[in-house]
Structure 1
């Protein structure tokens, strides 16, 4: 029920209730008046008194009339006055005379008290009017008290709380204690407060991220740029005085420029992923064959550094997932490069294990490096997070695992890390299984 209907209903109920209560009081007044007077007041005529006279002797009377009063009554009748007043009561007089065969004369006098109906109705109207005013006032006060609680006070509180919002106080929650549209308005204002609070939070977070990105990029670019300048200055200043040294200095400068290029590419990729500006073109692939091809592509690099890759397949049958091949290749490559940087020569090993649940495929990339400290573990997928085991500076932009997380979650998967110090680290990826003949999905 909205406020308009509520006010209309209240007015109708107050009016009807007042009329009903007033009517009950009026009926009660009439009932008790008739009860105490032993005759219907509204008729205007009371209980009749009868006097019977035989040969001028009173032989019967049903009221306390004396002989003298009876003579006064008969005198009034003889002069044509048919009214008699006794004890502040006015009576109408009706007489009947007859004689018997034996010659006895009888007079029957009927005295009917005349009630002042005007006084009765006047008193009734006054009682009804006063009762109507009292009941109407009490009902209105009760209703207004409820309206004060459910409408007026919530509006006043909402006004004060909205004024706080206008001055930037977004911490005070707005409670929905009102009625109908007032409650809806309070809920809308509360949602507005939360949205404003979230927008300010995200604005501050974006600003902090921007500052953090600028600081991190400046820090990471400073080292290779300084190295490049040093190598070039070495050539120009004649430090590299032989062709072999010049070739060495220039090759190192080229290597540093490649590092800068990798960092810029990773930063652009991460920014696009973070802003959801990169569409995913998904296709169905066989997980086992896909992992085997990734291992084959990276095996030469691992062997070149005297490190090894092993593969363990625990899948029962052929299992398929839907992924964006180009982007997921970046995920696998980043994880494998990160593992390769953190394992030792000769004994360093990366083990890739495939297993499955009822609905998902689990890829585990487990290395036998130093592991990740438990304090660093929750942050390894954050951009530019600096931990020796999670990010080596050499050849890394610091965004590899952050990009991997963005891509995996964009493919509706999950990625997490588990590790114990001195026991290596494992990067886990969970992807939803699909049926072999399910259609490819492009986004």
Structure 2
């Protein structure tokens, strides 16, 4: 699940959960309070309404003694419920029509709780003539006389006024009613806090873990472990970040490796220059001293010494020129004038022109199958230089009087492949990937400076790279060396 979706769900639940839980909590509190405190007033009547309802119902009972039994039971039950809920007691006595003391006469109805005896209220009632409403110290006594269908009656209603003065428990305004909204408020606060903690954990736990994974990966890279990769499989916003981290680590490793390789190449370059310059310079110095010391006594000897000095100076000039060219290519300051060429014609033209020169040096060229009708976009001068360096490399390292170079060309999809194979001694598996390094030569070649400076194939690789192609070294079938050049095909040549 994505973090965006988690945040959306979290926001929705942050609203819904507190409301639902608050409603459930309210319902639970109401149920508990209802069970613990019956609401005092039946049908939402207050104390005075309850008292009036009881008196009215009492008179109706006395005036209609022949009421249907079911209706009578209902009326009696309702009056009893009102009395009980409001801490009242009702006593109805049949009298002879004359005033009598409380609690005397024939008891007709006894409903509600137990009546109380309060001399102070009795005395006050006597002062009123035996009927009326009196009260003191939280108690009330209401006495009324009524004529019924079968005689005269005295109605006595006893009330505990102290409980009635207060709103009943669970009723708004009472003690329980005060704590009811407070309990609801505290419950809602608790619900919001718990929901917030839960949703915070729900969202940020999925953020903290990926951050810790990324931090661990950064620490590994910082400590030099460039092979470290993050294995992250969740499909969320952190997955592309982790993939970018892995890509960054790979590129950083390649960059470090490239810097190390350049440093190694630089050292090899300095060592190669020192070695390759020392040999011809030593020869030049020796022949010059021979001329100065009179070792070359004859004119022919002096001419031979001077010729050797010129040859060695030419070798130095050739090596410096190649080194200068490679440096310019390495810096990107490289003359490149590409054009659309037919590779078949270019190969045939190059080898026909150089056939006589190479034949005199012991090299034979065998042109194989070449696909027709293709075009490549390259610099023709640099392309011929690459071919020349490859062929000269085969010629310089031949061990027999004659070496054969086979050239083939074929198309592989959108790529043109050119293979140049010789039947020379080849190279070892260890040396194969290093042939295009600057000044790389086998140890045996170091003893023979005439076998080249080690720049030819390095220059060829740079040139092919500028042509957006690749050049690789392989073992030839006959044990020699095979150079494979791959170049992008521009288009098929129109017939």
TM-score category, normalised to shorter length: 0.7 to 0.9
CA 1:437–1:421: 2 relative to 1, 3 Å = closer
The answer for the alignment partner of 1:99 in structure 2 is 147
Give, in angstroms, the shift of residue 94 of structure 1. 6.5
The answer for the alignment partner of 1:48 in structure 2 is 82
Give, in angstroms, the shift of residue 206 of structure 1. 3.7
Partners of 1:93 and 1:11 lie apart in 2 by 61
TM-score (normalizing by structure 1): 0.76
CA 1:159–1:365: 2 relative to 1, 3 Å = closer
Give, in angstroms, the shift of residue 75 of structure 1. 7.7
SS at match of 1:373: coil
Question: Does residue 275 of structure 2 align to residue 275 of structure 1?
Answer: no
Please point out which of 394, 399, 408 is paired with 1:353.
408
Question: Does residue 422 of structure 2 align to residue 367 of structure 1?
Answer: yes
Contact kept in structure 1, 2:133 and 2:140, CA below 8 Å: no
Give, in angstroms, the shift of residue 332 of structure 1. 0.5
Give, in angstroms, the shift of residue 427 of structure 1. 1.2
SS at match of 2:377: strand
Partners of 1:390 and 1:320 lie apart in 2 by 38
The answer for the alignment partner of 1:291 in structure 2 is 347
The answer for the alignment partner of 2:29 in structure 1 is 29
Give, in angstroms, the shift of residue 210 of structure 1. 2.5
SS at match of 2:112: coil
Question: Does residue 331 of structure 2 align to residue 331 of structure 1?
Answer: no
Partners of 1:171 and 1:111 lie apart in 2 by 90
The answer for the alignment partner of 1:412 in structure 2 is 468
Give, in angstroms, the shift of residue 261 of structure 1. 1.7
Partners of 1:199 and 1:418 lie apart in 2 by 26
CA 1:185–1:334: 2 relative to 1, 3 Å = closer
Contact kept in structure 2, 1:334 and 1:404, CA below 8 Å: yes
CA 1:102–1:10: 2 relative to 1, 3 Å = closer
Contact kept in structure 1, 2:423 and 2:476, CA below 8 Å: no
Give, in angstroms, the shift of residue 119 of structure 1. 0.4
Give, in angstroms, the shift of residue 226 of structure 1. 0.9
Contact kept in structure 2, 1:240 and 1:249, CA below 8 Å: yes
CA 1:153–1:300: 2 relative to 1, 3 Å = closer
Question: Does residue 183 of structure 2 align to residue 127 of structure 1?
Answer: yes
Partners of 2:202 and 2:33 lie apart in 1 by 38
Please point out which of 441, 452, 459 is paired with 1:396.
452
Please point out which of 63, 66, 90 is paired with 2:112.
63
Size of the aligned set, in residue pairs, is 426
Partners of 1:329 and 1:293 lie apart in 2 by 10
Question: Does residue 441 of structure 2 align to residue 386 of structure 1?
Answer: yes
RMSD (Å) for aligned C-alpha atoms: 4.7
Partners of 1:358 and 1:389 lie apart in 2 by 40
CA 1:435–1:191: 2 relative to 1, 3 Å = closer
Cα shift readout 1:207-249 (whole Å, capped 9, x = no counterpart): 4332332122112211111111111111111111112111111
Unpaired runs of 5+ residues, structure 1, are: 439-443
Give, in angstroms, the shift of residue 297 of structure 1. 2.5
TM-score (normalizing by structure 2): 0.69
Once the two structures are superposed, the pairs formed by residues 176-195 of structure 1 within 5 Å of their partners are: none
SS at match of 2:174: helix
CA 1:381–1:259: 2 relative to 1, 3 Å = same
Please point out which of 420, 426, 430 is paired with 2:486.
430
Question: Does residue 294 of structure 2 align to residue 246 of structure 1?
Answer: no
Partners of 1:122 and 1:152 lie apart in 2 by 44
Partners of 2:211 and 2:134 lie apart in 1 by 73
Unpaired runs of 5+ residues, structure 2, are: 51-80, 84-89, 96-104
Partners of 2:415 and 2:302 lie apart in 1 by 55
Partners of 2:365 and 2:241 lie apart in 1 by 63
Once the two structures are superposed, the pairs formed by residues 304-323 of structure 1 within 5 Å of their partners are: 304-315=360-371, 317-323=372-378
Partners of 1:402 and 1:280 lie apart in 2 by 17
CA 1:156–1:355: 2 relative to 1, 3 Å = closer
Contact kept in structure 1, 2:421 and 2:476, CA below 8 Å: no
Contact kept in structure 1, 2:143 and 2:154, CA below 8 Å: no
Cα shift readout 1:348-400 (whole Å, capped 9, x = no counterpart): 22222223333332222121211222222122122212226889631522011
Once the two structures are superposed, the pairs formed by residues 216-227 of structure 1 within 5 Å of their partners are: 216-227=272-283
SS at match of 2:295: coil
SS at match of 1:65: coil
